[in-house]
Amino acid sequence: MQRRTALVAGLAMLIAGPVPVRGQESQSTRLWFDPTQLPSFTGVVDRYLLTPEGKTDRLLFREGPQVIFPEHVADEIMAAVEPGRSIIVYGIRARRVPAITLLAWAKDSSAPPRFVDRPAWSFSEFRAADERLEVSGTIRSPLYTPQGDVLGAILDEGVVIRLPVDIAAALGDRLNTGRSIAAAGRGATVEGRGKALDADRIGETPDKLGPLPAPLVRPQ
């Protein structure tokens, strides 16, 4: 794990490059590389997803993949590309699952790519709003970290259930697409956008909620 973390951090530094002098370089000229050389992915935005803190850190392509980005660029992307419109994403896809870490994006092929500083190489520390939520439904997709580990579940209507990675691993196929799930915990609701929570109780249906399982201990 330490080696992988070091490699990711090193790649992030290479992509970021030297810090420009304030006021001397624009966002489009301070890059030492061409973002269009990165793998590109084009899809239609189905919806933007919330974090339990009420912020936004990813979008869902209508075609299936999740695109993960840092919270500080969410407003810019959402203002430029509404759900139902296509977007071009330049980034890195996880090896095993359809999760893409966004490094640059463009509204369309005629627009210059916009670089994302401080890419979302790892998921944020667990933070949640104070609203007590209970949700249930059918899993549309597992929720993934940039590296492809399961972090919870995405339900219909933009509902997000988040879990610690080691607890999600212990739940195994209970977080697979098509499974029924219910959860309760603290989180946030944004009208017209959906809701997200950090689960502290989980089950197949609301009347069968129970405590989270013990974390899965991974071999060293």
CA distance 78 to 174: 32
CA distance 6 to 56: 26
Q: Which CATH class is domain 131-211?
A: mainly beta
CA distance 135 to 183: 5
- Per-residue pLDDT, 119: 63
- Per-residue pLDDT, 217: 73
Beta-carbon neighbour count of residue 109 at 10 Å? 9
pTM beyond 0.85: the answer is no
> What tens digit of pLDDT does each residue of 145-180 get?
999 999 999 998 889 999 999 999 999 999 999 999
- Per-residue pLDDT, 156: 85
> What tens digit of pLDDT does each residue of 20-35 get?
333 333 444 455 667 6
- Per-residue pLDDT, 207: 96
Q: Is the confidence at residue 105, as pLDDT, over 50?
A: yes
Q: Where are the domains of the chain?
A: 131-211
CA distance 114 to 94: 21
- Per-residue pLDDT, 11: 46
